[in-house]
Structure 1
Amino acid sequence: MDASFKSDSDFNHTFVDEHFYFEDNIDGFGITMAILYLVVCIVGLAGNSLVIVAILKLDKLSSSTTVYIFNLALADGLFMVGLPFIASQNFQNQWMFGDVACKAVMVLDGINQFTSVFCLTVMSIDRYMALVQPLRFARWRTPRCAKIVSSFLWLFSLLTILPMALHFSAERGLCIPDIVSDAWWLGVLSYTFVMGFALPFAVMTASYAALLVTLRSQRLRTSTPNYESHHLERQVTKMVVAVVVVFGVCWLPFYTFNFCSLYQSGLVLTFARAFEFMVLLSYSWSCANPILYACLSDTFRKHFHTLLCPVAKSPPSMQCNTERYDMNDAAERDVTIPA
């Protein structure tokens, strides 16, 4: 591809044409972005690690909901592992870790990105089944079934990204894909846009829209005002808006810039810097999920409270309420879990 701009590959890896980078291109912007990358990495690892510990220690994967949330947090946490490598390349304008590490980081990054998106998509379907027709779909919402589905999602993510990840190499001093042609690159971008954003976004939107419509129709059919039903509808609406908006805001700019990069010819430095920020924004999505849990889920607020404020470490006057909270039951009641 004849280009002089910085772009990103289909699964969040920096594609940089060798003509764009210069040896002494480290400036205030580069330092600022390096710091932001570090902050996102630390917050993402800490937040998702807390979710994983909460589920393993306090829930023990006792419901389908928490099985999916566990796999989502695991994928988001591992997604952060590749971030320091990408940040190092962006900051130093070269890949320091060799060709094998380049391919390994690309595979790891791609698997976790796609698994994270696929888990969130399956969780939207799981929430619909749990809240609209829980008895009908009960046998499909067991922890065992959720573990099988999650295993399939990891395998499907690997098969989805492996052919593209193997096209990456560090032979030119940067971990970038070997572009066969403009048509090939457009095909890669289109394929990953559909698989990694458009299709999951459509499924999530459809599942949540059907959920909201069903809950509203059930409330309206009730002859007497039901505060609990109205409260349920409001909570689900908040959850839907939060999940869909955050997912769209974090990922749509990334894919938009990918396609724009095919036709970029002017303002190379400005475009490249804006694109780097979009890459950081897409990584920030993995930090958003634990924050959504803390803000929207009473279940996770209680679990985080228990883990971060253990009774044994607090004086009597400052002890936290660490009463046992059954997430398995709460998964059915607590519709504010962002899934």
Structure 2
Amino acid sequence: MKNLSGSNLPPTVGDSNPESDSVVSNDFSTTFGALILGLVFLLGVPGNFFIVWSILARIRRRSVTAILILNLAFADGFLMFLTIFFIIYLAKQTWVFGAAMCKGMFYLCNSNMYASIFLITLMSVHRLVAVVFPRKVSLIASKKIARRVIVVMWVLVMLIAIPSVVFRDVRIDKDERNKTRVVCAPNHTLPRHVRFQYALETVAGFILPYAIIITCYVLILRRLRQTKFKRRIRSEKLILAIVVMFGLFWLPYHVINMIQVAAEWYPDNSPTREMLEHISKSSRAVTSALAFISSCANPVLYTFAGKSYIKKNGLAFMAKLFEGITSDQGGNKKSRVLGKDTLDTSNIQANSSASQSGQNGI
């Protein structure tokens, strides 16, 4: 049998292979995963590209926060657009797009996964500098420096996602009813390949960045509690909601990664190994779909944070939310942090009252 690109497909994988079952081998898991991805597509694509449009078309002077949010929305929106291919894959329980698309789609998916978490981490670091070191924010967190850091980040993302190309291929598989189908699945030939890829994803794509995020917001919240800003409680709750939501959606995916890594340390035919492999195989599709939700959650949170602008500004409410700057009545421009609705920290001033603001994105 040949794939769509004309190359010979590997033969059906036997039960001795630890990855003999693909993520589409379980009917319930694939059906539930397809439903989640369908909802994510409907919310995430228009939501994130509305953010991109708001920043590009409505904001003339883009702050560092706006630039980071623009990149995050683009990465999330592009990832959400890719879900249509995975929805078809889960619904049909067979890969119909060929070997090249198999490698390419999962590479893009992994790249955007890393880009999203790295951008969220950069936002956290920038907010930390703006709140704790407001006098230095213009020097060490300027737009010029931010753009360079973002370019370096995208290069790093493209490099660190390479294993998803190396360890992914099209093969013949059999479902629960012994029916032959084509799947796009991992092609690890050695246990250490499994341990390397999934450990890299979890450490570089979750543990380290999330540790930085948590550290940043612990320091930020400690700083906020030192002030007497009357709206800081609302800001703190929104900050914590963003961080906690990201962690909850991605944690199951990385737990499954670690379960799959742990299974490789046990000998073949071990009851513990069989149990861990069963858990990872039956849960991979669902946890992957849940992870996608995090990319459509930010537009929902932004809308909630800027709800007071909707009636007044209409479609420009999102841009108004990100600008976070208003002009005073005396004609002098003054940076004012909208503690109730805005979490933009690019214009935080050196005095303590401005450093108490909340930010709607991490």
- Shorter-chain-normalised TM-score: which range? 0.7 to 0.9
Separation in structure 2 between the aligned mates of residue 74 and residue 337 of structure 1, nearest angstrom: 17
Q: Per-residue displacement from partner, 1:32-77 (whole Å, max 9, x unpaired)?
A: 5423321111211011011111111221461000000000101101
Asked whether the equivalents of residues 29 and 283 of structure 2 are also in contact (C-alpha less than 8 Å), the reply is no
Identity of aligned residues (%): 24
Q: In the alignment, is residue 86 of structure 1 matched against residue 95 of structure 2?
A: no
The answer (yes or no) to whether the contact 1:82–1:109 under 8 Å persists in 2 is: yes
Question: For residues 97 and 323 of structure 2, what CA distance do their matches in structure 1 show?
Answer: 43
| Deviations, residues 76-126 of structure 1 (Å, cap 9, x unaligned) | 011112222222222222210011111111121111110010000000011
Secondary structure, counterpart of 1:174 in structure 2: strand
Describe the superposition over 1:165-211 as per-residue Cα deviations: whole angstroms up to 9, x where unpaired: 23311143221221021222112211111100000110000001011
Partner of 1:238: 237
Question: What SS does the aligned partner of 2:62 have?
Answer: coil
1:115 is aligned with what amino acid? Answer: A
Q: Distance in 2 between the 1:199 and 1:288 partners? A: 22
Residue 75 of structure 2 is matched in structure 1 by 75
- State whether residues 128 and 220 of structure 2, in contact with CA within 8 Å, keep that contact through their aligned partners in structure 1: yes
1:124-135 map, 5 Å: 124-135=124-135
Deviates most, 157-166 or 235-244: 235-244
Q: Which moved more, 1:250-259 or 1:169-178?
A: 169-178
Q: What is aligned with 1:277?
A: 286
Alpha-carbon shift at residue 154 of structure 1 (Å) = 1.1
1:144 CA drift (Å):
2.5
Aligned residue for 2:176?
A: none
Please, which moves more after superposition, 267-276 or 283-292?
267-276
Distance 2:319 2:220 in 1: 31
Q: Deviations over 1:286-335 (max 9, x none)?
A: 0111112122356xx63797454x8xxxxxxxxxx999778063523652
Bigger helix share: 1
Which residue of structure 2 lines up, in the alignment, with residue 313 of structure 1? none
| Structure-2 separation of matches of 1:118 and 1:304 | 34
> Is the contact made by 2:51 and 2:70 (CA closer than 8 Å) also made in structure 1?
yes
Residue 317 of structure 1 aligns with which residue?
none
Partner of 1:249 in structure 2?
248
CA-CA distance at 1:31 after TM superposition: 4.3
Distance 2:206 2:318 in 1: 39
Contact 1:4 1:268 in 2 (8 A): no
Which one-letter code corresponds to 1:17 in the other structure? S
Identify which of 161, 170, 189 aligns with 1:180.
Answer: 189
2:169 is the counterpart of 1:169: yes
Q: Which residue of 2 aligns with 1:302?
A: 309
Unaligned runs of 5+ in 2: 1-12, 173-181, 264-272, 326-336, 338-343, 349-356
Cα-to-partner distance string for 1:135-187 (whole Å, 9 max, x where unaligned): 21212333222222212111110011113323311143221221021222112
Quote how far apart the aligned CAs of 1:258 are: 2.1
CA displacement at 1:255 relative to structure 2:
0.8
How many residue pairs get aligned? The number is 304
Contact 1:41–1:83 (8 Å) recurs in 2: yes
Measured in 2, the distance between the counterparts of 1:194 and 1:2 equals 31
Cα distance in 2 between the residues matched to 1:267 and 1:189: 14
Aligned residues of 1:111 and 1:157 also touching (Cα < 8 A): yes
Partner in structure 1 of residue 214 of structure 2? 205
With the length of structure 2 as denominator, give the TM-score of the two structures: 0.74
Report the secondary structure of 1:80's partner residue: helix
What's the offset of the Cα at 1:18? 4.3
Q: Report whether the alignment pairs 1:17 with 2:26.
A: no
Distance 1:5 1:83, change over 3 A: farther
1:258-273 maps to which residues of 2 (within 5 A)?
Answer: 258-262=257-261, 263=263, 265-266=274-275, 272-273=281-282
Give the superposed CA RMSD. Answer: 3.2
Q: Which amino acid aligns with 1:98?
A: G
Residue 137 of structure 1: aligned partner: 137
Change (3 A) 1:325 1:110: closer
- Equivalent position SS for 1:72: helix
CA distance in 2, matches of 1:38, 1:53: 23
Please, what TM-score do these two structures have when normalized by structure 1?
0.79
